[in-house]
Amino acid sequence: MYLNQVYEEYHDDEAVQLRVVFIHTDFLMLIDINDENAWPFKVSTTEFANLGLTPIDDPIFLNSPAPNTTAEQYRDRAFSTISPLLDTYFDLFDKKRRNERIKTLLTTSSESRLYVTRQLRRYWQRGMSPDALAPDYSKCGAPGQVRRNVKNKAGAKRTVSPGKGTVITEDIADLFRLAIEGFYLLKDDIDLVKARIKAIGYLKSKYPKIDKSELPTDAQFRYFFQRNYLNHEVIQAKTSQIIYEKDIAPLKSTATVNNFGPGARYEIDATISDIYLISEHDPDRIIGRPIMYKVKDVFSRMTVGLYVGLENPSWATATIALANAFCDKVEYCRRYGIEISASDWPSIGIPASITADRGEMLGKHGDILVNRFGITLTNTRAYHGNDKGVIERTFKTTHVDILPYAKGRVEAVNGKKKAGKRNELEANMTLSEFTKLVILAEINRNNNSPVKGYDFEADMPTDLPAIPLKLWNWGIANRTGVLRRVDQKTVTVNLLPHEKATVSVNGINFKGLFYTCEEALRLGWFHRNKANARPNNVQVAYNTLDTNTIYLRPDNQFENYWVCTLHPRSRRYENMTFIEAASILKESNQTTAIYKQEEDYIAPDLQVEIEKIVQQATDRQKRTKFSKKTHRLQGIGENRDNERNLERNKNRIEQTTQSEVKHVATVTTIHSDKHSKQDFSYPDLDDF
Note the pLDDT tens digit of each residue in 353-362: 888 876 666 5
Rounded Cα gap, residues 670 and 103, in angstroms:
168
Give the pLDDT band of residue 512 (cuts 50, 70, 90).
very high
pLDDT band at 382 (very low <50, low <70, confident <90, very high): low
Please check the confidence at residue 558 and state whether its pLDDT lies above 70.
yes
Q: What is the reported pLDDT for 415?
A: 46
Q: Note whether 538 and 560 are within 8 A (CB).
A: no
In tens, the pLDDT along 146-177 reads 666 666 677 777 778 887 788 888 888 889 98
Amino acid identity of residue 662, one-letter, is K
- Residue 420 — pLDDT band, cuts 50, 70, 90? low
Contact 4, 128 (CB under 8 A): yes
- Comparing 162-166, 334-338, 396-400, 657-661, the range with the smallest average pLDDT is 657-661
- Beta strands 14-23 and 6-11 are antiparallel
pLDDT (tens digit, 9 = 90+) per residue, 674-685? 555 555 555 555
How is residue 416 annotated by DSSP? B
pTM of the model: 0.58
**Residue 131 CB-density burial (10 A; 0-12 exposed, 13-18 middle, 19+ buried):** middle
> 195-199, 518-522, 623-627: which has the minimum mean pLDDT?
623-627
Comparison of pLDDT for 93 and 669, the residue scoring more: 93
Strands 353-356 and 266-272: parallel
> How do residues 17-37 score in pLDDT, each as one tens digit?
999 999 988 889 999 999 989
Give the integer Cα–Cα distance in Å for 77 and 100.
Answer: 22
CA pair distance 491, 328, nearest whole angstrom: 12
Instruction: Between 96 and 652, name the one with better pLDDT.
Output: 96
For residue 213, the model assigns a pLDDT of 85
Residues of the chain above pLDDT 70, percent? 84
HSE of 141, CA atoms in CB hemisphere, 13 A = 7
Cβ neighbours for 25, distance < 8 A, ≥ 6 positions apart? 45
Percent pLDDT > 90 in the chain is 24
**Residue 436: is its pLDDT beyond 90?**
yes
Pairing of strands 303-309, 266-272: unpaired
Q: Indicate if the pLDDT at residue 417 is higher than 60.
A: no
* Average per-residue pLDDT for the chain: 83
Question: Is pLDDT above 60 for 185?
Answer: yes
Tell me the torsion sign for CA atoms 452, 457, 463, 464: negative
Please give the single-letter amino acid code of residue 70.
Answer: T
Q: What burial letters (b/e) apply to 42-69, b meaning 16+ CB within 10 Å?
A: ebeeeebeeeebeeeeeeeeeeebeeee
Residue 9: pLDDT band (50, 70, 90) is: confident
Sign of the four-CA dihedral 563, 567, 572, 578: negative
Strand order in the sheet with 14-23: 41-44, 27-32, 14-23, 6-11, 54-56
Cα(49)–Cα(51) distance, integer angstroms: 6
**Averaged pLDDT, 373-396:** 72
Q: The dihedral of CA 640, 644, 646, 647: what is its sign?
A: positive
pLDDT over threshold 60, residue 645: yes
Mean pLDDT: which of 397-401, 469-473, 648-652 is highest?
469-473
